[in-house]
């Protein structure tokens, strides 16, 4: 069953097309663009030598064949790891062959597909997409690099001419965080940059639909939306957009449509687009 959109809902690929490809890899983001996603979501962390990389967890243990905290590793350390074989048989076979035969060569473009992804490389991918693809960049906190993450992020966006949009509505980039302090730093340095306050639960002081000062977009979890659908209406009445994560099931997509949310963040961009009749 599909139904036509009652209004335009942006479909955001959560860590790329992460159900079909290893999360936060070039392969996952290429697949999301190919599937027609309107935007790409990524988490960023700062390495020990000052590079922003797309990794969700504080440590690399779950999504790579290495161990350790991202903040304690340099980019070269991360680049030596496999971020793909935990997810796909093809990547496992490639890495196993590499380990068994030291002389076996992997094409650089194949290695790049499941190596650690820098935010700079992701920005290059988006700029070469051939159509408008937006980016939703989440800063991860707490971190030993508090403050430096936002500083480096805005500096990198400036390199691509994305740090000072004419208005929030025109910006192809938005910055998200569960940390109101992180969003405050962004707003202080880049007042027109749109920001999203992510929520795993609704703070009592925000139940009336308010958000932290200067933030215009709410990012409630799907669990909040299921349990408290009226909260979405309060957010909308307060003038805020609502971007919901992580929406994977058809019934949840339908509920988001019914409630009039503005963006659906999903591991399954192709399936959600189909559900929306696109």
Residues assigned a catalytic role: 14, 56
DSSP class of 237: H
* 135 vs 43: CA distance, rounded Å: 11
Quick count: other Cβ atoms within 10 Å of Cβ 154? 19
Compute the distance between CA of residue 267 and CA of residue 247 in angstroms, rounded to an integer. 8
Distances (CA, A) of 89 to 94, 116, 176, 187: 9, 18, 33, 43
Q: CA 85, CA 66: separation in Å to the nearest integer?
A: 12
By DSSP bridging, strand 195-199 and strand 52-53 are unpaired
Question: Please, are residues 46 and 75 in contact by the beta-carbon 8 Å criterion?
Answer: no
Distance CA 182, CA 179 (A): 5
């Amino acid at each position: 069953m599909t139904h036509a959109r009652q209004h335009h809902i942006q479909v955001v690929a959560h860590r790329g097309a992460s159900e079909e490809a290893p999360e936060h890899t070039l392969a996952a983001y290429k697949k999301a663009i190919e599937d027609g996603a309107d935007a790409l979501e990524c988490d960023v962390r700062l390495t020990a030598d000052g590079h922003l990389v797309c990794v969700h967890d504080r440590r690399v243990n779950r999504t790579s064949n290495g161990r350790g905290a991202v903040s304690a590793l340099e980019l070269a350390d991360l680049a030596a790891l496999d971020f793909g074989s935990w997810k796909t048989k093809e990547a496992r076979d490639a890495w196993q062959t590499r380990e068994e035969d030291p002389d076996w060569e992997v094409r650089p473009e194949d290695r790049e597909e499941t190596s650690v992804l820098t935010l700079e490389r992701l920005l290059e991918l988006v700029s070469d997409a051939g159509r408008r693809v937006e980016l939703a960049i989440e800063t991860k906190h707490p971190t030993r690099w508090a403050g430096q993450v936002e500083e480096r992020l805005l500096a990198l966006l400036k390199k691509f001419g994305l740090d000072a949009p004419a208005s929030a509505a025109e910006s192809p980039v938005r910055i998200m965080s569960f940390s109101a302090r992180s969003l405050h730093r962004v707003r202080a340095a880049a007042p027109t940059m749109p920001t999203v306050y992510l929520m795993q639960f609704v703070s009592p002081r925000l139940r009336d639909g308010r958000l932290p000062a200067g933030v215009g977009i709410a990012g409630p979890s799907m669990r909040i939306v299921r349990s408290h659908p009226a909260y979405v209406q309060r957010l909308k009445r307060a003038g805020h957009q609502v971007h919901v994560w992580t929406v994977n099931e058809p019934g949840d997509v339908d509920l988001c449509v019914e409630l009039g949310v503005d963006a659906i963040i999903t591991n399954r961009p192709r399936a959600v687009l189909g559900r929306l009749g696109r």
